[in-house]
Structure 1
Amino acid sequence: MSTSTSRFTIAAAPDQGRSNRVRFLLGCGTVAGPLFLTTVLVQEATRVGFDPSRHPLSALSLGDFGWIQTTNFVVTGLLAAAGAVGARRVLGSGPARTWGPRLLGVFGLALVAAAAFVTDPVSGFPAAGTGAATPSWQGQAHNTAALVSGLALDAASIVFARRFLSRGQHAWAAYSIAAVAADLAAAGIAATTGDFRWLLLGGAVTWTWASAISLKLLRQHTTGQDTGRSVDCV
């Protein structure tokens, strides 16, 4: 092997390692939303006494099998946060470069925070709990973390929509706006009807949107449409 070839190999190795790390991080963000939603749906279908119309998904963290949903909060939150780091490393200049990844990171870390505080029993679930007249401080902290997580994701949708519009990517811009609109509309219906299935539907739209963004960036990074620093990949 010639000296010039050796120098090229040595120089290329760090770049390849950095690229692999970015792909791993974006891959984490890609699986976060579907994993969270699938785990919730399986639990809702199998947990005895759980009624998705009367009980918020956070109530799944209560009872004998509550550790499953608690773990779901933590794992999904960490995956989403990893995806946010990956997005920051590949987004070039322009809208969403800074606040897009930050908001995605807040979304993920707030899910982890939601796992750290136990929500209160609600409407007879689990069977041993009847629901407190006054929410506990742990329950309030859990609800606050969940609210911050949802709002951060809605804000991220708007930030990315602005980026897509600035680049003439109207389909992605429309998808981003539709995601936040659907989430807010579903939250309004849930507040009016008391049916928590609407909250799950609205969340599912934005969770999968965030994963779609990570997948988009992952594909573009893999095909060499960015350098990881200065070239836009959106």
Structure 2
Amino acid sequence: MQKIYAKNSRASLIRLLLIGGVVSAPLFYAIVAAQVFTRAGFDIRRHAISTLTLGDLGWIQSAAFIFSGLLAVAAAVGIRALLRGRKGGTWGPMLIGIYGLGMAMAGIFRPDPGLGFPAGAPAGVPTTMSGEASLHSLAFFAAFLCLIAACVVFARRFAAQGERGWGVYCMATAGISPLLIVVGMGVSSWIGVIMGSAGIVAFGWVSALAVRLRAEASVA
């Protein structure tokens, strides 16, 4: 009886931690959407989502980066506990955890102002990058690279389990999200939409994976 109680308690804790992954992407983009329509001077066609961390209300988006990142870290802990000793149980959660930390760091360090946002910012693209902006970019791209690698890890896991649909979904995410990043970096318009779409694909994968693994934890 005691062993059954301990097993049920462990499963409940894992499911609770995985909720962090479930809500991380929807919460992040709900906050982004609210600001896209309310922040004066912000134009999603010209400005990257990261620039919402600037200005008097920038703390809102900074908090969104940090909190969403920490939720992903919590999910990584849950994934590690669920998959310990199984295929993908080491590198998968480790990479998702690093992604979460990178997101949090991207909220702590902010990009440089430019393209007229926030109010009083230079009208053009910044010609130099500050140390803080460099750390922001480094954290963001490190997070993205780790997420792409995590997609590959879980694609292999699902393929080994015979779950072809999930394997294809993981590999599609690993291919589409960096492609959108490259396209976004190479254009001067719609950058916020394109880069934001890359985030929806990649961050949304974390939430979808967390939903899938919560179901697995329920029957483990």
Q: TM-score range by the shorter chain?
A: over 0.9
**CA 166–12 in structure 1, closer or farther in 2 if over 3 Å, else same:** closer
2:175 corresponds, among 181, 186, 192, to 181
Q: Give the letter for the 2:87 counterpart.
A: P
| Counterpart amino acid of residue 198 in structure 1 | I
Match of 1:14 in 2: 6
Does 2:149 correspond to 1:155? yes
- 1:215 Cα shift? 0.7
**Structure 1 length-normalised TM:** 0.88
Distance 1:150 1:43 in 2: 23
For residues 204-228 of structure 1, the C-alpha deviation after alignment (integer angstroms, 9 at most, x for no partner) is 0111111111110101111x2x2xx
The secondary structure found in structure 1 opposite 2:55 is: coil
8 Å Cα contact 1:94-1:163 kept in structure 2: no
1:103-114 map, 5 Å: 103-114=95-106
Tell me the CA shift for residue 61 of structure 1: 0.4
Larger gyration radius, structure 1 or structure 2: 1
Structure 1 match to 2:82 = 90
Query: What residue is the counterpart of 1:220 in the other structure?
Result: 216
Runs of 4+ aligned residues of structure 1 deviating over 6 Å after TM superposition are none
Normalised by the length of structure 2, the TM-score is: 0.93
Shift of 1:11: 3.9
CA-CA distance at 1:132 after TM superposition: 3.9
- 2:136 counterpart residue number: 142
| Gap change, CA 1:99 and 1:37, over 3 Å in 2 | same
Q: CA deviation at 1:162?
A: 1.0
Which of 162, 168, 179 is 2:162 aligned to? 168
Q: Supply the distance in 1 between the matched residues of 2:202 and 2:126 (Cα, whole angstroms).
A: 30
More off after superposition, 51-60 vs 124-133: 124-133
Over aligned residue pairs, what C-alpha RMSD do you find?
1.4
List gaps (5 residues or longer) in structure 2: none
Structure 1 residue aligned with 2:25: 33
Residues 165-201 of structure 1, C-alpha deviations (whole Å, 9 max, x = no match): 1121110011111112111221122122233111110
**Mean Cα deviation higher: 13-22 or 182-191:** 13-22
The whole-number CA distance in structure 2 between the counterparts of 1:64 and 1:88 is 39
SS in 2 for 1:135: coil
2:94 corresponds to 1:65 = no
